[in-house]
Structure 1
Amino acid sequence: MALIVVYLARGYCRPNLFINISGTLIKIALTTTVLLLTAAQSYAVEINDEIQGSVSLDELEYLEEDQSTAWSSNFSLATDAHQLNLVSEGKRTSDGLEGHELRAYYSKALSSKVGINLGWRGDLNPGASRDWFLLGVSWKAPYELEIDTSLFAGSNGRLGLRLEVERGYQIMSSLLLGAKLKANFHSENDIQTGTGSGLSELELGLRLSYEASPLFSPYVGIVWDRPYGKTAHFARADGGHEGNAQFLMGLSLTF
């Protein structure tokens, strides 16, 4: 994994091995996910473990500077050790949809702190769409850090890597300060999606939320994001920004 990170960061990785197999991986990812969920359901029935469903709108926020709306939502079916997730994340500006990402994946808890994810990711961008096979690891690290690392395999040998690190600080009984870092790496330049090789994007965010109830939390915060390398070049050519900090306000809902 460390070697892959180095190659992706430098933009030198040319995984010809994936050219012929990544398309097949993408096609079987959803089928595998469904089969694994079926196995999980059979297992749950065997041990009388109840399957529970939940819908959460983790982030629905308005960003002040570019007057955009962003969201992150999750639908899940889960037992104690197995979970199926459907995640939707995106952003809409006054000019229309800027980007939309869907992820459908199966999660298996290996221990109380480590889990693996397997499934599909779809980038539903206005200019071009991309499909990826998804393989990830979730880890509850020391110091209450939550770390998610995902490796993506796309068509034509494309590889992607995403690192997400989150930490929550309980300020008062109803006040929580959440800190989040997200970094995206890619092995190839993709002109159609405006994505460059190496480190493509970095995002840092702070959100202060008030837990009005277990199901509803309004929040305010600030988010800073910046494209790097060829991604920044593509953004400039398209009239986009090269990095800025924005004030935001939003809410989180659980159904």
Structure 2
Amino acid sequence: MNHAGMDHAAMANDAPIPQGPPPPEAFSGPTFAADAFVGPEKMAASRASVVRAVSGMPVFWFQADRAEYRAREGRDGYLWDVQAYYGGDIDKLWLKSEGEGSFGEPVESAEVQGLWSHAIGPWWDLQAGVRQDLTGAERTHAVIGVQGLAPYLFEVDAAAFLSTKGDLTARLEAELDQRITQRLILQPRAELNFAAQDIPELGVGAGLDSAEAGLRLRYEFTREFAPYVGIEQEWKAGRSADYARAAGEDPSVTNYVVGLRFWF
């Protein structure tokens, strides 16, 4: 392009952009002018699609955070810890399930949760719903909790449970991914369980009921598929340990785990 004939002085002296509101005639046309050319139904669908894309299109996500074989003294065992959600950036429906047991014996514990989740900040969701225990003295619980990312990238899931029997309990889980390489990740994990009262039929004592601490080393062949190995220590505390001893159980158990973490 030949710029020689351009009046740069005139361009430099152009009037400034007005700072006031738009003139009234700017609003004199139709609200959705394209409706007259494309059709109101097609344009309404197009606008709704844009709103979904901007505000968070509903998606489905599933993750098996822990699906593992547990080698330990006595009978070896297994554990699952899975969760899924459907929804957008602000509101989601969460489904969670976890449980464990020993091979050749009935399932020791199993539960499923259905939760409504609402974002209360960039990193945190408030969750409320129902939990159903599937083994032992089966109970239904009301649930309220938070899930999100704490400072220093700790993934935290904390919840309180009130059962139909009036039992008040709580659970706090936290884990942290420490990248050794882009594919090799060391994950420390801890879990604490509390109870507001003794629950003898469940072998649960008031105060700190149990604690778990472990390390898992996983290798991500892809982000969605990662086998792991690790070790985890479980403790019963206080009256819960007394209940375990009375039932002939060891209140302290070491698990050597091999598992798979995957999501889609």
Does the pair score TM above 0.5? yes
Aligned to 1:62: 69
- Gap regions ≥5 residues in structure 1: 1-43
> Structure 2 vs 1, CA of residues 146 and 253 (structure 1 numbering), >3 Å: closer, same or farther?
closer
Range moving further from structure 2, 149-158 or 216-225? 149-158
Q: Secondary structure at the match of 1:205?
A: strand
Q: Name the CA distance, whole Å, in 1 between partners of 2:132 and 2:240.
A: 19
Q: Deviations over 1:212-236 (max 9, x none)?
A: 1122100000101101112111111
Distance in 2 between residues matched to 1:99 and 1:249, nearest whole Å: 20
- 90-99 or 215-224: bigger deviation: 90-99
**1:240 aligns to what SS in structure 2?**
coil
- Which residue matches 1:221? 230
SS at match of 2:202: coil
AA matched with 2:109: G
TM-score for the superposition, normalised by structure 1: 0.78
User: Aligned partners of 1:98, 1:211: CA distance in 2, in Å?
Assistant: 30
Structure 2, unpaired ranges of 5+: 1-47
Aligned to 1:197: 206
Over 3 Å counting, the alpha-carbon distance change for 1:45 and 1:90 in structure 2 is: farther
**What is the CA distance between 1:115 and its match in structure 2?**
1.6
- The within-5 A match list for 1:1-255 is 47-48=51-52, 49-65=56-72, 66-94=75-103, 95-125=105-135, 127-255=136-264
Please state whether the residue corresponding to 1:157 is helix, strand or coil.
Answer: coil
Aligned length: 211
How far apart are residue 156 of structure 1 and its match? Answer: 3.6
**Percent of residue pairs bearing the same amino acid type:** 32
- Counterpart of 1:110, as a letter, is I
Structure 1 residues 168-177 or 58-67, which shifts more? 58-67
Partners of 1:113 and 1:152 in 2: CA distance: 23
User: How far, CA to CA, are the matches of 1:235 and 1:67 in structure 2?
Assistant: 18
| Greater helix share, structure number | 1
* Cα distance in 1 between the residues matched to 2:158 and 2:63: 22
The two structures, once aligned, show a CA RMSD in angstroms of 1.7
After superposition, the Cα gap between the structure-2 partners of 1:113 and 1:237, relative to the gap in structure 1 and judged at 3 Å, is same
After superposing on structure 2, the runs of 4+ consecutive aligned residues of structure 1 that deviate more than 4 Å are: none
Q: CA 1:45 to 1:195, structure 2 compared with 1: closer, same or farther past 3 Å?
A: farther
Structure 1 CA distance for aligned equivalents of residues 259 and 172 of structure 2 = 24
Question: Between Structure 1 and Structure 2, whose CA radius of gyration is higher?
Answer: 2
Instruction: Measure how far apart 1:111 and its partner are.
Output: 1.4
User: What is the Cα deviation at residue 131 of structure 1?
Assistant: 1.3
